Structure 1
Amino acid sequence: MNSLPAIRHVASSSKSALGYIYLQCHVKPGASKQREGIISVSEDIIEVCVSAQAREGEANKAVREVFSDVLKCPKSDVEVVRGLKSRDKTIAISGIDVKGDEQKCISGIRDQLLNAVE
């Protein structure tokens, strides 16, 4: 696997205080509708099941919807930035204000993800 943490903050290149939260994910497409969602959160990967198939971007769209719902942010703020054709993806969440405390922000997101685990 990779050595990056599952959840990390990447500062914006602009002067804005808003950066990006990057999420390292392993996606399992074609799951049953009942299993759709976050299934586990570890130090280095977030496992996500989606019922959509891995074709024509359907699974990527479903992954964006899962994170949008769990993190209560607009789908337009959720983007697959790496791994468009892979099960291992990097998801960028924009528009999150870390308010100067990166660790507190990351642990808040981790808590939201853990609370969503079925």
Structure 2
Amino acid sequence: MASHSAIRLAAKSTKSALRCIYLQCSVKPGTNKQREGVVSISDTVIELCVAAQPKDGAANLSVRKVFSDIFKCPKSDIKIIQGLKSQEKTVSISGLEFRGDNEKCISRIREQLESAVE
């Protein structure tokens, strides 16, 4: 899987179905609260809008909340690992349970994201 893909999986442990995923995101802060969430998904990026302004980490917290709601996981499992002060971010989500090969897992993750598109 290319490193510039919108959805990537970390190396899989053979003893567990728990995975860590990486999402390439483009975030538009300061949007209307009703527009908050995933806007579109392409092969290379997940676009999302958040109502919070990019001040004092508020937009980053909103990004974590959006993904927490989509994947039904605690915000503490979600980290922004690249792009803390940029609209282009890499988000890591740990502890998600997915069974099957990487392509099936990525497909399920993409379906969850697509179902959240407004």
Q: When the two structures are superposed, what TM-score results if normalisation uses the length of structure 1?
A: 0.90
Residue in 1 that maps onto 2:88: 88
Matched, 1:70 2:70: yes
Residue in 1 that maps onto 2:31: 31
When structure 1 is superposed on structure 2, of 47-56 and 14-23 the one drifting more is: 14-23
Residue in 2 that maps onto 1:109: 109
Q: Quickly say closer, same or farther: Cα 1:15–1:106, change in 2 above 3 A.
A: closer
Q: Quickly say closer, same or farther: Cα 1:16–1:54, change in 2 above 3 A.
A: farther
Unaligned runs of 5+ in 1: none
Tell me by how many angstroms 1:71 deviates.
1.2
In the alignment, the residues of structure 2 paired with residue 94 and residue 48 of structure 1 have an alpha-carbon distance, to the nearest angstrom, of 20
In the alignment, the residues of structure 2 paired with residue 61 and residue 21 of structure 1 have an alpha-carbon distance, to the nearest angstrom, of 18
Aligned structure 1 segments of 4 or more residues deviating by more than 6 angstroms: none
Q: Quickly say closer, same or farther: Cα 1:108–1:15, change in 2 above 3 A.
A: closer
Cα-Cα RMSD? 1.8
When structure 1 is superposed on structure 2, of 95-104 and 80-89 the one drifting more is: 95-104
Q: When the two structures are superposed, what TM-score results if normalisation uses the length of structure 2?
A: 0.90
Q: Quickly say closer, same or farther: Cα 1:111–1:100, change in 2 above 3 A.
A: closer
Residue in 2 that maps onto 1:55: 55
When structure 1 is superposed on structure 2, of 87-96 and 100-109 the one drifting more is: 100-109
1:34 maps to a residue whose letter is: Q
Unaligned runs of 5+ in 2: none
Q: How many residue pairs end up in the alignment?
A: 116
